[in-house]
Structure 1
Amino acid sequence: MRITRVVDLSVTVGPGTVVYPGDPEPRLTPHSTIERDGFNLLSVAMGSQTGTHVDAPFHFDEDTPRIDELPLERFFGPAVVVDATGLGERGRITWDQHIEPVAALLRPGTIVLLRTDWSAHYGTPAYFEHPYLDADAARRILASGVRTICIDAINLDETPDDEHPGEGFPVHHLIAEAGGVIGENFRNLGAIDWPDPVVSCFPIALESADGAPVRAVALQVEVEAAN
């Protein structure tokens, strides 16, 4: 087996990182410096849902696994990219229009990547007006055995505001009840232009946490013939 290409699917974490409204903003400050201490060391403070991250079921259900209790298989495996590009603000990703064309590829162990290209709005107010996954589509994805669903937006559900109250985060609840994982703030999904990608999105093993940042990547893997 040989990895022939790696695509970074992650945003960087720093002062400009976009956070969900009300979440802690990341603070990265020098704790030690070479000039003063002989080495560099950074003090890092951030929320568990900072940057490109994954949610454990515990994020929305007290009686379900925390991030450090989930099987690592949830964060690595073959991926299916769902083309949900072309949706406007607060567009709904549905089964019939977006998921059904790739439904035959969905099975246990598959990581679903919802490509909306909304990451192009990262850092602007429009980023919070993103497309989101329809609850019925989420149910049908979970029925296929999939337990990891990721999106290139800040929220898999609609992000509520004063004009849009949202629907109560139904997709988060459905995935939590199934013991699944949500990935958010992914990017570069359009750069996955080869069949059968493999995705890695292992989280920091934060103890008893609701989620954790990840360095998500897509891998092009070539299986070499045996001699």
Structure 2
Amino acid sequence: MGSTTATEILASLGTNPFWTLHEILKTGRWVDLSHTADESTPLWSKFTKMSRSTLFNLEEHGFQAHVFTHVGQWGTHVDPPSHFHGDLRSLDQLAVREQFLPLVVIDIHAKVAANPDYTVSMDDVKDWELRNGAIPRGAFVALRTDWSKRWPDHVSMMNLDADGVSHTPGWSREVIDYLFDSRDATACGHETLDTDPGAATSRSDFSLETLVLSKDRYQVELLANLSDVPEAGGVVVVAFPKVAGATGFPARVFAIAPL
């Protein structure tokens, strides 16, 4: 006998199955995973800060409209593959099916508190799988470091030493390969400014970000509030404009998790 299809499962929920599904999701915990961004938002030192100007105002025109100037990698943002690889997909080429995903949170915040240079290990991932089962295919895998609690203090986010070396946590090559090659993850995300740990970015080494995007997958940087979602069982929505050829853009990311 064949397995039950998603349509059959939803049909069993009522006469308007997708509306019923929405009612079910509404009973969960909705958590905003995006920072509020403005002119003082922390960003990579080589990028210019955001600016805005008023094009129309209420007093003269009866409505408001602003012009915003900012780099694509501003605030909580999406990096599509084309950010580092011009022959791979740009933002508008990411499918909407890639924007609503199972959420996996790998929690290393206690290890980061003891060592800000900590990078996630395969032991961390295997421990997650021992507790929760295999990482589901197509997941969005988020790295919880609690670094977002330093926001919006740019100095604290960078955590430079006397020699100008940044001490921030990050991903590791073996974990990235495992998540995308063995577990077929759709995307990953983190709370820091970069995929690579600060010790690497301080010498302009962005090899891990290059690796993620080379797999034709996307990532989200500067996530917030990962401490408010469970390590398993939630889903994530990654929303962003469909800008032709964009190599990055601010995103509104949120999770829906069991109560």
1:214 aligns with 2:241: no
What is the letter of the counterpart of residue 40 of structure 1? Q
What is the letter of the counterpart of residue 121 of structure 2? T
1:24 offset after TM fit, Å? 2.4
- Among 158, 182, 192, the alignment partner of 2:229 is 192
1:133 offset after TM fit, Å? 0.2
Tell me how far apart the structure 2 counterparts of residues 195 and 141 of structure 1 sit (CA, whole Å).
15
1:194 offset after TM fit, Å? 7.6
Match of 2:137 in 1: 108
1:191 offset after TM fit, Å? 0.6
**Is the Cα–Cα contact under 8 Å of residues 198 and 221 in structure 1 kept in the other structure?**
no
Higher strand share: 1
Q: Mapping of 1:1-150 within 5 angstroms?
A: 1=21, 2=24, 3-4=26-27, 5-86=29-110, 87=112, 88-96=115-123, 98-103=124-129, 104-122=133-151, 123-128=153-158, 129-143=167-181, 144-150=183-189
Unaligned runs of 5+ in 1: 223-227
Structure 1 outlier segments of 4+, above 3 Å: 159-162
**Which string of whole-angstrom CA distances, capped at 9 and with x for unpartnered residues, describes residues 68-111 of structure 1?**
11122222111011011021322211111x21122433232111
Tell me how far apart the structure 1 counterparts of residues 136 and 200 of structure 2 sit (CA, whole Å).
35
Give TM-score scaled by structure 2 length.
0.79
Q: Structure 1 pair 62/194, CA: closer, same or farther in 2 (3 Å)?
A: closer
**Is the Cα–Cα contact under 8 Å of residues 67 and 205 in structure 1 kept in the other structure?**
yes
- Which stretch has the larger CA shift, 24-33 or 5-14? 24-33
Q: Which has the larger radius of gyration?
A: 2
**Is the Cα–Cα contact under 8 Å of residues 103 and 234 in structure 2 kept in the other structure?**
yes
1:193 offset after TM fit, Å? 3.7
Q: Structure 1 pair 208/159, CA: closer, same or farther in 2 (3 Å)?
A: farther
Q: Structure 1 pair 81/15, CA: closer, same or farther in 2 (3 Å)?
A: same
Tell me how far apart the structure 2 counterparts of residues 113 and 82 of structure 1 sit (CA, whole Å).
6
What is the letter of the counterpart of residue 76 of structure 1? F
**Is the Cα–Cα contact under 8 Å of residues 105 and 232 in structure 2 kept in the other structure?**
no
Unaligned runs of 5+ in 2: 1-20, 159-166
1:195 offset after TM fit, Å? 4.5
**Which string of whole-angstrom CA distances, capped at 9 and with x for unpartnered residues, describes residues 21-69 of structure 1?**
1112111222211101111111111111111011101111111111111
Residues matched between the structures, number = 219
Higher helix share: 2
Match of 1:225 in 2: none
RMSD of the alignment, in Å?
A: 2.0
Tell me how far apart the structure 1 counterparts of residues 172 and 56 of structure 2 sit (CA, whole Å).
47
1:180 aligns with 2:217: yes
Match of 1:201 in 2: 238
- Which stretch has the larger CA shift, 135-144 or 121-130? 121-130
Tell me how far apart the structure 2 counterparts of residues 120 and 220 of structure 1 sit (CA, whole Å).
20
What is the letter of the counterpart of residue 185 of structure 1? L
What is the letter of the counterpart of residue 197 of structure 2? E
Tell me how far apart the structure 2 counterparts of residues 75 and 157 of structure 1 sit (CA, whole Å).
23
- SS of alignment partner, residue 133 of structure 1: coil
Give TM-score scaled by structure 1 length.
0.89
